[in-house]
Chain A
Amino acid sequence: MELHMSNDTHASSGTRWLLVHTVAVFAFLYLPIAVLIVYSFNGEGVGGFPPHNLTLDWYRMLFADAAIWESVGNSVVVALAAVAIALAFGVLAALALDRAQFPGKALFRRLVLLPLILPGIITGLSLLMLFREADVKLSLLTIVLGHGTALISVATTEVFAGLQKVDRAQEEASLDLGASYWQTFWRVTIPNLQLPIIGAALLIFTLSMDEIAVSFFLIGRDNTLPLEIWGRLRRGITPEINAISTIIFVFSLVAIVIWYRLRVRTEGRPEIAELIEAAVQGGLTHEHES
């Protein structure tokens, strides 16, 4: 919602202080990460100021570290599986919320969104109890189930938002021309949801790669990357961790910028904020009410 406020400024001292505050907060948000990155090249290790003796040793150590790469592999597998599950069920859930009426819809809507706002420990523990009672051994599979469950809400909100923008008339036209519901679904609905789905996939993948709170409780023998790092942290800090953190940061950065560009192409600025609001309000913030 832009106004032509371009030439018009009462650029008072008030606005200048706001800018100072803004820059300060950005500094607060980014400096720790910057420090982390800088010290990943620091020969003397993790602490001490100023950094000197720049070296790539830690990165070399990192690349030789088999356990880390194994956990990366595990994480990727888990993340891909989580994307598949979250999308499959999330798209359906979004459609159900958008189009169908059924008993318990309100409860369903809140349940789906709950994992977004609940502390991960609750989601993780409740699933742990389920697996215990069902006698399921903890493994990468249980982690996949955990991530999938937690992240369905992300897929649902993104796709639901995308659905609002789909022209209903297109689907009606398709049916009118003789296609079945199933055909219409694949030929018209899904293609229209392409961008939200891709965006959601990217987001879910990234979140799954970083996920630790739920995974903490559902881990079996095999570690995911965050858990591997966590294990090492318990034993002591090494700058190797700085190195892997730097790499994680770079990947996240790239993933998010791509996601953002994708979203901007569809509909102006992406409404991640609505995702959060939706979760907190326990509802989806568009007009469709059950």
Chain B
Amino acid sequence: MFSRAYRAAVTVPPLLWVTVLLLIPYLLMFCYSFWSVSMAQTVVHSWTLDNYRELLRVNVYWQTLFRSMWIAARVMLFSLLLGYPLAYYLSFHAGKRKDLFYQLVIIPLWVSYLVRAYAWKTILGSDGVLNTLLQYVHVTTHPLGFLLYSPFAVVLTLTHIYTPFTILPIYASLEHIPRALVEASHDLGGSPSQTFWRVIFPLSIPGVLAGATFAFVLSLGDFLAPLLLGGPSGIMISNIVVSLFGAAYNWPLGAAISLCMLVLVVGLLFISERLEKKWSFT
């Protein structure tokens, strides 16, 4: 029905944009990872595998990567634990308050990341709200040091930020479950808890996978929370990349790490997508 001119008109501009500003940059990053940096702090376009060798050789990159993955895993886990019951309540039990609660979930999503990370920074510091509160009510006598500038702070803050992201896909998949199925389960003798584990939860798995992937992937690549709240023990892989593009000035090495991250993330997305399809029945 649509003429070729029409189809060309709608297809070409976005295709061009995406090619120039998405595809080519990724390809460039790929190329950079094989280049090197000269003494004079310029990038030399000579092809070498040195960057990757460096990555494999030097421990700190591995350690940081694993620490980042461990942090991301915890964020994912806590987001799911916090988010799933809320999504379930919202979908099945909220009744008249459903609209209100849904808005309450999406509002934090759009409040600046920076604002929220900053809020935690002021709360967790040794002179921060939490410490002074605890001392005020005589629960503790000195400020707790581990609250800020630690992996704990990073996990806490990232969980705070990504829990809404986890709630939404779970909520969406729960909403898609026809209520007749829940009734059918009850009708056949299934108690509410049996109904949940045998019918509701299996059918919500795609949403859980989507939310988990989102939380994990975004946490893994996060550099702002560690910078603000992580301290030396909370450095994540992206911070290393940032410094390589900044003071440490080694763009090719940074590109190599970024590329690894990109491959890792895309790989996770791919796996997640496959799993979701496998668990998708409705």
Interface residues of chain A, those whose CB is within 8 Å of chain B, are 1-3, 5-6, 10, 12, 14-15, 18-19, 21-22, 25-26, 28-30, 32-33, 35-36, 39, 46-50, 88-90, 92-93, 95-96, 99-100, 102, 108, 111-112, 114-115, 117-122, 125-130, 132-133, 145, 148-149, 152, 172, 175, 181, 185, 203, 206-207, 209-210, 212-213, 216-217, 226, 229-230, 233, 237, 241-242, 245, 248-249, 252-253, 255-257, 260, 264, 269, 271-274, 276-277, 279-283
Smallest CB–CB gap between B158 and chain A, Å?
12
Smallest CB–CB gap between A105 and chain B, Å?
9
4 additional contacts, CB 8 Å, given A12-B192, A274-B172? A22-B101, A118-B262, A119-B238, A130-B28
Q: Which of B121, B132, B209 contacts A49 (CB 8 A)?
A: B132
Q: What's the interface size class on B, roughly?
A: 35 or more
Given contacts A130-B28, A272-B106, A274-B172, contact A237 B114 (CB under 8 A): no
In the complex, residue of chain A having the shortest beta-carbon distance to the beta carbon of B108: A29
Establish whether residues B89 and A18, one from each chain, have CB atoms under 8 Å apart when the complex forms: yes
B22-50 residues with Cβ-Cβ distance < 8 A to A are 22-26, 28-29, 32, 43
Measured CA separation A130–B107 after assembly (Å): 34
Establish whether residues B132 and A117, one from each chain, have CB atoms under 8 Å apart when the complex forms: no
Q: Which of A36, A99, A114 contacts B22 (CB 8 A)?
A: A114
Establish whether residues B15 and A121, one from each chain, have CB atoms under 8 Å apart when the complex forms: no
Q: Which of A46, A108, A260 contacts B122 (CB 8 A)?
A: A46
Binary interface encoding of chain B residues 224-248 relative to chain A, with 1 for a CB under 8 A from any of its CBs, else 0: 1000100000000010011001000
Measured CA separation A120–B27 after assembly (Å): 17
B60 within 8 A of A: no
Chain B residues in 8 Å Cβ range of A277: 169, 172-173, 206-207, 210
Can you report 10 A-B residue pairs in the complex whose CB atoms are below 8 A from each other?
Answer: A3-B183, A19-B93, A33-B119, A35-B119, A48-B127, A96-B15, A121-B258, A152-B17, A237-B121, A256-B109
Establish whether residues B122 and A237, one from each chain, have CB atoms under 8 Å apart when the complex forms: yes
B2 within 8 A of A: yes
Measured CA separation A222–B123 after assembly (Å): 30
Establish whether residues A130 and B21, one from each chain, have CB atoms under 8 Å apart when the complex forms: yes
Establish whether residues B115 and A115, one from each chain, have CB atoms under 8 Å apart when the complex forms: no
Establish whether residues B255 and A92, one from each chain, have CB atoms under 8 Å apart when the complex forms: no
Measured CA separation A276–B210 after assembly (Å): 8
B213 within 8 A of A: yes
Chain A residues in 8 Å Cβ range of B160: 28-29, 32
Establish whether residues A281 and B14, one from each chain, have CB atoms under 8 Å apart when the complex forms: no
B153 within 8 A of A: no
Measured CA separation A114–B270 after assembly (Å): 12
Establish whether residues B85 and A21, one from each chain, have CB atoms under 8 Å apart when the complex forms: yes
Binary interface encoding of chain B residues 86-124 relative to chain A, with 1 for a CB under 8 A from any of its CBs, else 0: 101110010100010111101111111111101111110
Chain B residues in 8 Å Cβ range of A273: 168-169, 171-172, 207
B58 within 8 A of A: no
Binary interface encoding of chain B residues 1-27 relative to chain A, with 1 for a CB under 8 A from any of its CBs, else 0: 111011101110111011001111110
B55 within 8 A of A: no
B217 within 8 A of A: yes
B190 within 8 A of A: no
Those 3 A-B pairs whose CB atoms lie nearest each other, nearest first:
A119-B221, A126-B25, A273-B172
Smallest CB–CB gap between B155 and chain A, Å?
13
Smallest CB–CB gap between A24 and chain B, Å?
8
Given contacts A212-B224, A252-B107, contact A96 B10 (CB under 8 A): yes
Measured CA separation A242–B128 after assembly (Å): 13
Establish whether residues A149 and B136, one from each chain, have CB atoms under 8 Å apart when the complex forms: no
Measured CA separation A217–B246 after assembly (Å): 9
Q: Which of B114, B175, B183 contacts A212 (CB 8 A)?
A: B114
Smallest CB–CB gap between B84 and chain A, Å?
10
Establish whether residues B261 and A122, one from each chain, have CB atoms under 8 Å apart when the complex forms: yes
Measured CA separation A129–B88 after assembly (Å): 44
Most chain A C-beta atoms within 10 Å of own C-beta, residue among B125, B168, B206, B251: B168
Establish whether residues A207 and B82, one from each chain, have CB atoms under 8 Å apart when the complex forms: no
Establish whether residues B82 and A28, one from each chain, have CB atoms under 8 Å apart when the complex forms: yes
Establish whether residues B122 and A39, one from each chain, have CB atoms under 8 Å apart when the complex forms: yes
Measured CA separation A119–B47 after assembly (Å): 27
B51 within 8 A of A: no
Establish whether residues A47 and B89, one from each chain, have CB atoms under 8 Å apart when the complex forms: no
Chain A residues in 8 Å Cβ range of B165: 276
